[in-house]
Amino acid sequence: MYVGLDMGGTHTDAVLIAGGRVKRYCKTPTAPEDYLHTVTRALDEVLEDIATGEVRRLNLSTTVCTNAIVTGRTSPVGMLLEPGPGLNPAGLTCGAKNFILSGAIDHRGRPTSSLVATEIEAADKELRKAAIRHLAIVGKFSTRNPEHELQIKEALSPDYDFITLGHRLSGRLNYPRRVFSAYLNSAVASVYEAFAAAIKTYASSRQLPVEPDILKADGGTLSLAASRSLPVETILSGPSASIMGALALAPSSRDTIILDIGGTTTDIAFLADGVPLFEPLGITLAGYPTLIRALYSYSLGLGGDSCLRVRDGRLSIGPERLGPALALGGPAPTPTDALITMGRLDLGDKGAARRGLEQLGDQLGLTTGEVAAAIIKQMATEIASQTRALLEGINSRPVYTVREVLEDKKLRPEQVIVIGAPAPLLAAELEAAFGLPVVAPSLAGVANAIGAALSQPTTEITLQADTEQGFLTIPEEGIREKVQRGFNLEAARRRALAALQDRLRRLAPAAASAELEVVEEQSFNMVSGFYTTGKNIRVKVQVKPRVSPLEGDEHDV
Amino acid sequence: MMYKARRRLGLVFFPAFDWAISPTHPEREERLLYTQDQVFEEGILDIEGIREYRPRLASTGDVERVHICVPDVKSRTTESHLIAAGGAIVAAEAVLKGEVDKAFAIIRPPGHHSFRIVHGARGFCNINMEAIMLEYIRRHYGPKRIAIVDTDCHHGDGSQDIYWHDKDTLYISLHQDGRTLFPGTGFLNEFGGPNAFGYTLNLPLPPETGEEGFLYALEHFILPVLADFKPDLVINSAGQDNHYTDPITNMRFSAQGYARLNDRLQPDIAVLEGGYSIEGALPYVNAGIILALAGLDYTGIREPDYTPERVAQSPRVSEYIARLCDESYQAWQQRDTLREEYIQGKTEISRRRRIFYDTEGLMETQQETTRVCHDCGGVTWIDSRTDHGRHILAIFIPREACHRCQEEGHAIFDRSRAIDYPDGIYLQDRVEDQMLKK
């Protein structure tokens, strides 16, 4: 029995899946002032009269951190930065207190200038004086050699509440993103800790035999325990839950477009050979680009509740949402009113919907029926044209090898999966606009919660070995160890997979048998003068996002 | 993001991680690895206004617009060469289409040692990336006056050869004196062909030239010449081997220096050439150039081992460079008078020279004749033999050739006999944008 909960900005959806079938689902408003109550209310509803001893998995997606960041309700953070030479670090001082420390590590992980103890002491003193309890320590190239970040931490007073070390967040190179990711992680630590503790209490009070897992933006989960040191991993997991839901409801091994049509927005995502596409580096939240791994998802300001207007004699849809549809007492006509007028949707005050559309029709010189059809057609056309623009961007992403230029691999979607409440009602127009078959699974309205329930743990690590220096590092795991001269790509791959297995055991014990895969691997001969002096090896391994399969036909729920 | 470029910059980054001349050759897979690390780690690609483009393959036609490859393009190039040339074209097009203000093609392998005729590789180069890019621009975006400023430490003898007869392309090279470094050319008296006399300018700098010397040459020679020439486009052949850590040269330039040079020069398009200090120089020099072109603060870019002493130069070097700049600028100003003296009423001018292909281990002998013409670059024909026994005739009809030069070129092609040139008679007709071979 799997339980999944997806907390969105307006609604929270929960499902109960048993025997590979969706047994129960519920939708409840999200109360931003009380997330915990929102969660427990939704869970109580799907778990009512259920023998909780049967629950094998409870996955939650939460907007606690996202919301804290967007609304600025975060803790003040002290930033200890070691930018070394390079770009002006003035743009990275995002904390309440920021200290630019001396010291530098170069691209091969060699310390090229030392830390200065007195600077760290002075920073420590000032942070204590300002009563700042949350810190982030981030060095340029710390993923290549974390020793300076560790030394800075050692030199500080030992009693801070929460310290994020930049190198533990991601093995990817991008100093500004590492700084912002570390900042956000420390900034939301308190608010998340309170939520996590309460969820844990709730789980034991309901006598659930499993600890909840938390959804991430990469289409996977991590254990509640692990999420407490990596709260930033929980941000923006909503779109990914939907993508995983679409994948569960309409499994595919082809290039696919996934549309999640909601009230305010349509989220656009892609599958390449049936596997969700990732953001190249990480998500951006509230103006902070991060290294938080995420499924690619583009949010277009176009949904069922988008405001309809006539501008310069032309119909415009969105991007604003002024409120619900006219039929539900809203202030302006919306595509939902068009669906009601067309008789595709039986909802609310049909007269109000029709009157609103009539007025638009008068301005455009169209009958009410024509204007309703035009609205839905235009909505589909705009979604299709934005999708094409995104595809062009994805297909012109740079590549760095001759082989890739010659292969010229492109994403060429063969179908569209559309989810979200209005999805099935738009299928015909979308099919015309995309010129592709459109699949609108039933239960499309709670695909997000289904995705949440069926998602499984994911994780990724990066290994970099430099046999000339005789070291390898796996920053996410805090590993830096010696290697022999004969260390090669094969050995690096083995070491990376073993470290990934350990990490998985720690972060998600239940998923220890998951399939591990190598995502990238490169080995370069390092040459000095005209002699090969060593190898520079880079390996990235992951447990990729995947869903537990649903059984049979979901229609029989 | 907290940074925003003052000038929109297009980047083509093509490190060719799966291509090398040979495993331990300086031109190998590892060359741009640390540059990529540095650019990624600095977060440069996230900066608003900086956009990365994907390279593409240049076509055979793009190469044949510039080169006569013997026996053909396919046998003288690898895919990596065509992608590097295509990458330069993508960068240039981004500027010409107005998508960005400037572009930088960080590509490999380099190209500025490739001549009009290509029998093989020399100076790690098979085909000339900048020239292929420029002629593509002219073909698709109309005629342009273009200045190439070549800041590679080695004389760009290939670029010089390609633009020797072209008044619309001013080629200026700053390099280590040819008496001390490959390819051994690039002296003051290499001043351009009879119809473009003065439009090739060489500034052979003495070994141990420091930051001050390069910037002096920029201020007192290059910028004044450019102010006179008034180009539509300025190209920097951005070789990075003047760096004080370069293993195969003897100069004392720095990442800060390269950044300042580009800041002052403000080329429309920069294209990477040589530079083989792949750990100590390239990551910092490339980052510095990117920031300077994008109008961002580059003052924090510094090599880990930088000290002012490493880039200092002796007073003797300073004096020498001052004299050199003075003499060169005077020659440039007197180019029309000097041309009269050079031509002395002749109708054809010939030269004979030997071209060494160091990478290939091959010697070519060329007998080149150019028709003196007041209306165009003049038809040129070259009898080319190699010590591997190859023998061809190559005829070049320049872009915007006058009617007479075009006719003359075709006449030479028609009357030359295959029996005299066993490996082919080639005609590159830039007016018709075609290559003929018999």
Task: Give the tens place of pLDDT for each residue, A194-205.
Answer: 999 999 999 989
B349-364 per-position pLDDT tens digit: 999 999 999 988 999 9
Using alpha carbons, list the distances in angstroms from residue B293 to A173, B51, B100, B232. 23, 13, 11, 17
Contact B28 A530 (CB under 8 A): no
Give the nearest partner residue to B29 out of A86, A91, A524, using CB atoms.
Answer: A524
**Angle at the Cα of B194 from the Cα atoms of B191 and B200, rounded to 5 degrees:** 25
In a mutational test of the A interface, the residue from B41, B51, B245 whose CB has the highest number of chain A CBs within 10 Å is B41
* A122 interfaces chain B, CB cutoff of 8 Å: no
| pLDDT value, residue A555 | 39
First to last CA, chain B: 58
Q: What is the structure's pLDDT at A552?
A: 55
The average pLDDT across B181-193 equals 96
Mean pLDDT of A284-309: 94
Q: Which residue of B has its CA nearest to A529?
A: B247
Contact list in B for residue A87 (CB cut-off 8 A) is: 3, 42-44, 287, 291, 296-297, 300-301
Q: Measure B432 CA to nearest chain A CA, in Å.
A: 30
pTM above threshold 0.90:
yes
The lowest-confidence range among A370-379, A523-532, B422-431 is A523-532
Give the DSSP H or E segment for A213: strand A213-215
Q: Is the predicted pLDDT of residue B1 greater than 70, yes or no?
A: no
Q: How many CB pairs under 8 A join A and B?
A: 128
Give A8's pLDDT tier (boundaries 50, 70, 90).
confident
Q: Is A533 on the interface with B (CB under 8 A)?
A: no
Cα three-residue angle A134-A135-A139, rounded to 5 degrees: 165
Element (H, E) at B4: strand B4-14
Question: Which residues does chain A have within 8 Å of residue B40's beta carbon, measured at their own beta carbons?
Answer: 172-174
Give dist(CA A285, CA A283) in Å, integer.
6
Common-topology check for domains A2-70+191-235 and A246-443: yes
Token pair belonging to B162? 């390609």
Residues contacting residue B372 through CB under 8 Å, at least 6 positions apart: B194, B195, B343, B346, B347, B348, B349, B378
Closest residue in B to A538 (Cα) is B33
Minimal CA separation from A94 to chain B, in Å: 10
Domains, chain B, in order of start with CATH, read 4-336 (3.40.800.20), 345-437 (no CATH)
C-beta atoms of A525 and B28 within 8 A: yes
CA distances from B318 to A347, A398, A549, B207, B211 (A): 85, 43, 75, 12, 11
Q: Do A402 and B30 touch (CB under 8 A)?
A: no
| Residues A202, A36: Cα–Cα separation, whole Å | 9
Interchain CB distance below 8 Å, B54 and A529: no
Put simply, whether A469 touches B (Cβ < 8 Å) is no
The topology (CATH level 3) of A246-443 is: Nucleotidyltransferase; domain 5 (3.30.420)
The answer to whether the beta carbons of residues A245 and A448 sit under 8 Å apart is yes
Instruction: Return the number of other C-beta atoms located less than 10 Å from residue B78's C-beta.
Output: 16
Contact check, Cβ <8 Å, B41/A175: yes
ipTM: 0.94
Under 8 Å between Cβ of B194 and B209: no
The reply to whether residue B24 touches residue A175, judged by beta carbons under 8 angstroms, is no
Q: Give yes or no for a cis peptide into A319 (omega within 30° of 0).
A: yes
* Residues B377, B165 contacting (CB under 8 angstroms): yes
Sheet with A97-100, edge to edge strand ranges = A97-100, A77-82, A134-139, A162-165
Cα B104 from Cα B292, distance rounded (Å): 11
For tokens 């992403």, what's the residue? A397
**Predicted pLDDT of residue A52:** 87
Each residue of B49-96: pLDDT tens digit? Answer: 999 999 999 999 999 999 999 999 999 999 999 999 999 999 999 999
- Looking at the partner chain, which of A173, A400, A530 has a beta carbon nearest the beta carbon of B14? A400
DSSP conformation letters of B68-135: EESS-HHHH--HHHHHHHHHHHHHHHHHHTTS-SEEEEEESS--TT--SEESS-BTTBSS-HHHHHHH
Q: What is the pLDDT of residues A218-241, one digit of tens each?
A: 999 999 999 999 999 999 998 999
A57 vs A1: CA distance, rounded Å = 7
Cα–Cα distances (Å) from A19 to A22, A415, A495, A552, in that order, read: 8, 29, 38, 10
Q: Let me know if A494 is exposed, middle or buried by CB neighbors in 10 A (0-12, 13-18, 19+).
A: exposed
Q: Where are the domains of chain A?
A: 2-70+191-235, 75-187, 246-443, 459-543
> Chain B residue with minimal CA distance to A395?
B54
**C-alpha distance from A291 to closest chain B C-alpha (Å):** 11
Strand partners, B427: B395, B436
Of the pLDDT bands very low, low, confident and very high (cuts 50, 70, 90), residue A556 is: very low
Task: Decide if B250 contacts B181 (C-beta within 8 A).
Answer: yes
**Region A152-168 average pLDDT:** 97
**Nearest of A250, A283, A210 to residue A4 by alpha carbon:** A210
Q: Which distant-in-sequence residues (6+ apart) come within 8 Å of B125 by Cβ?
A: B109, B110, B111, B112, B113, B114, B158, B359
Mean pLDDT of chain A: 93
Query: Taking the CA of residue B365 as centre, how many other CA atoms within 13 Å lie in the half-sphere pointing to its CB?
Result: 7
Catalytic residue numbers of B read 113
pLDDT digits (tens, 9 = 90+) for A9-34: 778 999 999 988 999 999 888 887 78
Give the CATH number of domain A2-70+191-235; options: 3.40.640.10, 3.20.20.140, 3.30.420.40, 3.20.20.70. 3.30.420.40
Render pLDDT for B241-268 as a digit per residue (tens, 0 to 9): 999 999 999 999 999 999 999 999 999 9
3 state SS of B210:
strand
Residue A76: cis peptide before it, omega within 30 degrees of 0: no
Which residue in the block uniquely carries the two structure tokens 């939240």?
Answer: A285
Kindly report the backbone phi and psi dihedral angles of residue B170, in degrees, each rounded to the nearest multiple of 5, phi listed first: -85, 120
Is there a contact between B81 and B55 (Cβ–Cβ < 8 Å)?
no
Q: In the prediction, which pLDDT does A554 show?
A: 44
Please report, for chain A, how many H helices and E strands are present, in that order: 15, 27
